[in-house]
Amino acid sequence: MVHCKGGEFVPLRDTKYKRNLSILKVYGVGDNRKIKVVTMFSVRNAGVDCDFKSSAPGTVNDDKLENNIARARSKIFELAFCNPWDYFFTGTLDAKKYDRQNLEIFHADVTRFLRSEYDAAIPFLLIPELHKDGKSWHMHGFLSGVPDDALHRFVVGDHMGKALAQKVVAGDPVYNWPAYAEKFGFCDLEPVRSPEAVSKYVMKYISKDLARSVTASGAHLYYHSRGLLGAQTIKKGTMLADIVPTYQNDYCRVAWLPYSDELLQSLSESFVR
């Protein structure tokens, strides 16, 4: 094999790649924690040029799009699962108050609202989504720190959609945020019951159609407040522990494990020093 350097092809060096690099991380908060072990079979060392390879016409942009989507999903899951969210939030725009097709203004005004409506900024993680018309935007995501007295629990007879009404009839707590509704449009907030489940659920909103739409409008796949927590990296290197992967492909294997102090210590001590 060869690699490219300054337009010339030279033999690969043995030091080009790190083999079987494992990363041990902890995701989640409090009692809702998981251990994640990722083992990458081959990782290029910093400062070493890439392999020479040609891409078929039209594949470069597709590959870039897929990579952007994968990175966004991974980061969204991390931010969703590693922070103590109170509510899963859906916020829409009233056409009488806003241009529902202008995501840039929607994002700017919503984040300004969350930062300034109360004495303390409200932490958030928001993902834009297009309505079925393919033009109008709304947002899903997570909020914490919204004052209880700022919310109104929906009751039978309030204006709401069929799916929401079924939850209200069933006795599930679902809330309106009048300050948001007055400024922007209809919204609802549901308490987060299973952080892991809802963190996985929200990734479904990141699709190729969304990626193309936000790219065309110069926007982002997701928005978040400053200071959010991420996964905690415990160890990185060669790990000797033999664990069963949750899934595996040609490039890496990943194991999600239930958290315990004992297991984390055992895995950490299995890394070669």
* pLDDT(261) > 70: yes
The pLDDT assigned to 4 comes to 47
pTM for this one? 0.83
Tell me which of 26 and 52 has the higher pLDDT: 26
Please write the tens of the pLDDT for every residue from 93-123.
Answer: 999 999 999 999 999 999 999 998 887 789 9
Q: Check if the beta carbon of residue 180 is closer than 8 Å to that of residue 115.
A: no
Task: Tell me the pairing of strands 232-237 and 137-143.
Answer: unpaired
* pLDDT(45) > 80: no
Q: Six-digit token pair at 234?
A: 């415990």
For residue 46, name the pLDDT band (cuts at 50, 70, 90). low
Tell me which of 241 and 13 has the higher pLDDT: 241
Q: Check if the beta carbon of residue 221 is closer than 8 Å to that of residue 210.
A: yes
* pLDDT(269) > 50: yes
The pLDDT assigned to 54 comes to 44
Q: State the chain's mean pLDDT as an integer.
A: 87
3-state secondary structure of 213: helix
**Over pLDDT 70: what percentage of the chain?**
85
Burial category of 15 from C-beta neighbours within 10 Å (exposed 0-12, middle 13-18, buried 19 and up) = exposed
**Angstrom distances, CA of residue 46 to CA of 12, 43, 166:** 14, 9, 55
Residue with structure tokens 């945020």?
177
* pLDDT(9) > 60: no
CA dist., res. 109 & res. 219, Å (int): 14
Q: Check if the beta carbon of residue 189 is closer than 8 Å to that of residue 160.
A: no
| Bridge partners, 108 (sequence order) | none
**Angstrom distances, CA of residue 148 to CA of 110, 144, 233:** 19, 11, 34
The pLDDT assigned to 217 comes to 59
For residue 247, name the pLDDT band (cuts at 50, 70, 90). very high
CA dist., res. 272 & res. 22, Å (int): 11
* pLDDT(41) > 60: yes
* pLDDT(264) > 60: yes
DSSP tag of 15:
G
The count of other CB atoms within 10 Å of the CB of residue 215 is: 13
